[in-house]
């Protein structure tokens, strides 16, 4: 009886060790393939041109050719559309679906973002092709590229939330503070 008890325990331990060895390589391979997918398709932003809209909506012709209507959630306390709404302007929208409708979490008018911006220590132009040119020679680390990634504005290596975007002012925020720029001539 005692021998059969030890035999059962030994078999149980052997099965546990064997099952652990089989699972570890699979988990590592699954994680690395998920990371690769995330790196290539991790941007949840919808890009397109506004074709119509109203006070509480934007109808977007996406870069993929779809037409999507995004609504403003009436419960939002902050303005989610940065840069105004003009038909024909390019937008970057982060949305979500609730009750069968698509709502805007954030919408950045890219056409309003393009152009010259300046502050006390920076003077730069955001161009449509994803580049930034700086006109101040004294900038310590000038921004050279830009993109929108998951609703955030990335200027070279710095990531910002667009707080305000208007005809004359741009306000960006990150872990280092709030940065305000005025429209250049």
More confident of the two residues 19 and 164: 164
Q: Nearest Cα to 126, choosing from 152, 106, 149, 154? A: 154
Q: Average pLDDT, whole number, for the chain?
A: 84
Q: Order of strands, edge to edge, in the sheet holding 146-149?
A: 132-134, 123-126, 115-118, 177-183, 169-174, 158-165, 152-155, 146-149
Q: Does 153 score more than 90 pLDDT? A: yes
Q: d(Cα 68, Cα 51) in Å, to the nearest integer?
A: 10
Reported as type and span, the H/E element at residue 171 is: strand 169-174
| Bridge partners, residue 57, by sequence | 54, 71
pLDDT band at residue 137 under the 50/70/90 scheme: confident
Q: Nearest Cα to 178, choosing from 163, 166, 165? A: 163
Query: Given this model, what pLDDT does residue 27 score?
Result: 38
Query: Given this model, what pLDDT does residue 157 score?
Result: 92
Q: Nearest Cα to 68, choosing from 87, 40, 49, 44? A: 49
Classify burial at 17, counting beta carbons within 10 Å of its beta carbon; exposed 0-12, middle 13-18, buried 19 or more: exposed
Q: pLDDT tens across 45-54, in order?
A: 999 999 998 8
Q: Give CATH for domain 46-110.
A: 2.40.50.140
Query: Given this model, what pLDDT does residue 40 score?
Result: 41
Q: Does 124 score more than 70 pLDDT? A: yes
Query: Given this model, what pLDDT does residue 141 score?
Result: 85
Q: What percent of the chain has pLDDT over 70?
A: 80
Q: How far apart are the first and last CA of the chain?
A: 93
Residue 135 contacts residue 144 (beta carbons within 8 Å): no
> Which pTM does this prediction carry?
0.74
Domain 114-183 fold is Lipocalin (2.40.128)
Mark out the alpha helices in 42-179 (DSSP H runs).
Answer: 110-113
Q: pLDDT tens across 80-106, in order?
A: 999 999 999 999 999 999 888 999 999
């Amino acid at each position: 009886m005692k021998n059969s008890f030890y035999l059962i325990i030994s078999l149980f331990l052997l099965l546990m060790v064997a099952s652990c060895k089989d699972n570890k390589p699979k988990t590592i391979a699954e994680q690395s393939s998920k990371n690769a997918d995330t790196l290539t398709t991790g941007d949840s932003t919808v890009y397109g041109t506004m074709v119509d809209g109203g006070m509480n909506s934007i109808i977007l012709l996406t870069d993929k050719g779809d037409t999507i209507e995004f609504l403003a959630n009436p419960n939002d306390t902050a303005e989610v559309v940065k840069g105004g709404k003009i038909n024909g302007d390019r937008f970057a929208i982060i949305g979500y679906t609730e009750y069968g409708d698509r709502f805007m979490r954030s919408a950045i008018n890219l056409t309003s973002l393009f152009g010259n911006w300046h502050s006390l220590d920076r003077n730069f132009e955001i161009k449509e092709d994803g580049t930034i040119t700086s006109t101040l020679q004294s900038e310590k680390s000038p921004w050279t590229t830009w993109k929108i990634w998951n609703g955030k504005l990335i200027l070279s290596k710095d990531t910002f939330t667009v707080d305000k975007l208007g005809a004359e002012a741009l306000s960006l925020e990150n872990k280092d503070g709030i940065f305000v720029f005025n429209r250049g001539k």
